[in-house]
Amino acid sequence: MNKKFLFGILLGVVLIYFSLRGINFNDTLTSLKKIHPGWAALSLFFIVFMQALRSYRWGVILEPMEKISQGTLFAVTSVGFLAIAAIPARIGELARPYLIAQKSAVKMSSALGTIVVERVLDSLAVLTITIAVLMAQNDLPRWMVTSGILFFLGTLMMISFVIGLVWRRETAVSIIDRILRRLPGALAQKVNPLIHHFIDGFLVITDVKRLLYLLVLSAVVWLVDVAAIYTLLIAFGFDLPALAAFVVMVILIAGIAIPTAPGFIGNWHYACILGLSLFGIAKPEALSFALVYHFLSMMVVVVLGAVFLPFNKFSLSEMTKQMKKAEDRRPKTEG
């Protein structure tokens, strides 16, 4: 983990350098002074609304295992996103499964499965948006088109993997069992029930009606994100089409997927600058946008996370212990 942390810090520094290189800071400051507070406040509202939608969607995914109150889901989601932002290499992704396992009968390994489902749904939604952007903007650079194609292939592989685990569960488990036989006996016995619990987290995709509802919800989540970006573009007085907000969002998603320094410092800013440069926004103005958008997003994450953290405390060592406990439990349905 120390190596990943150091690599993340180093990469963040490199991206900060590229973000600031050649910048006229007086121009950036002038752009910051021009921001319209009303539109910025509306952008902030959309950022908070997106967080609420995410927690609600997670509850829909968890519901086949247990119905959990929206208050609990929102609190855990807020703390979970704080952990993702604060802990390097995206290790904070474990926080939500750990916390929800403490507050419900859902096992941590099953909750981890629901996080994978979330990523699949997000990938499908963003993929749809990416295809729409590529079709609407014919003069996008080749690297972005190539990235879109690779993202599409990666999403198809992820979807195929999840569907295969659920619809051909016995076959998938038998294949995994063959692999596990190569491991020491005690280790194989621990990993086997963990895999079953993990697959339980995918149960939601067997309910077609619920799955379609989740797909619509996921599209709404990312459209709200586009609205947050677009209203902030208006706040800066940038005369850009709504398409620019879609492009910035897609590039930003790819940028923050790279494990860097805590708080996505560096990759967030460079991604925004890169996206806005495609629409002719000068680097100083693009940096001012990146600074404000990052500040608003992180402010929501930190404030909401700090509010609910006293009631949802966790530590990396405790999360590791919980995973070990999960490995020792066998599903009740197993013979």
Query: 160 or 111: whose pLDDT is higher?
Result: 111
Query: 264 or 334: whose pLDDT is higher?
Result: 264
Per-residue pLDDT at 79? 93
Number of Cβ atoms within 10 Å of the Cβ of 242 = 12
- Residue 142 within a domain: yes
Task: Give the Cα separation of 115 and 137 in Å (integer).
Answer: 32
Per-residue pLDDT at 330? 39
> What secondary structure letter does DSSP report for 206?
G
Dihedral angle at the C-alpha atoms of 254, 255, 260, 263, nearest 10 degrees? Answer: -110
Domain count, the chain: 1
Range of 148's domain? 14-314
- Residue 242 within a domain: yes
Dmax (CA) of the chain: 70
pLDDT band at 335 (very low <50, low <70, confident <90, very high): very low
Alpha helix segments (H runs only) across 168-184: 169-180
Q: With a cut of 70, say whether residue 71 has pLDDT above it.
A: yes
Per-residue pLDDT at 10? 83
- Residue 323 within a domain: no
Task: Give the Cα separation of 192 and 176 in Å (integer).
Answer: 8
3-state secondary structure 71-111: HHHHHHHHHHHHHHHHCHHHHHHHHHHHHHHHCCCCCHHHH
- Two structure tokens written together for 214: 């989740």
3-state secondary structure 7-19: HHHHHHHHHHHHH
Query: 140 or 112: whose pLDDT is higher?
Result: 112
Q: Which helix (H) or strand (E) holds 255?
A: helix 242-256
- Residue 295 within a domain: yes
- Residue 3 within a domain: no
- Residue 293 within a domain: yes
Instruction: Give the residue-averaged pLDDT of 45-72.
Output: 94
Q: Which segment of 149-163, 164-178, 234-248 scores lowest on mean pLDDT?
A: 164-178
- Two structure tokens written together for 256: 């923050």
Instruction: Give the residue-averaged pLDDT of 28-56.
Output: 95
Q: Under a CB-based contact definition with an 8 Å cutoff, are residues 326 and 106 in contact?
A: no
- Two structure tokens written together for 170: 């016995």
CA distances in angstroms from 229 to 34, 249, 274, 308, listed in the order given: 17, 8, 14, 26
Going 131 to 50 to 120 to 298, the CA torsion angle's sign is positive
Query: 69 or 88: whose pLDDT is higher?
Result: 69
- Residue 48 within a domain: yes
Query: 101 or 148: whose pLDDT is higher?
Result: 101
Instruction: Give the residue-averaged pLDDT of 84-89.
Output: 76
Q: Under a CB-based contact definition with an 8 Å cutoff, are residues 51 and 89 in contact?
A: no
Q: Which segment of 142-146, 213-217, 268-272, 302-306 scores lowest on mean pLDDT?
A: 142-146
What is the rounded average pLDDT for all residues in the chain?
81
- Two structure tokens written together for 303: 């404030």
DSSP per residue, 207-223: -HHHHHHHHHHHHHHHH
Task: Give the Cα separation of 250 and 244 in Å (integer).
Answer: 10
- Residue 319 within a domain: no
Q: Residue 122: which of 35, 250, 238 has the closest Cα?
A: 250
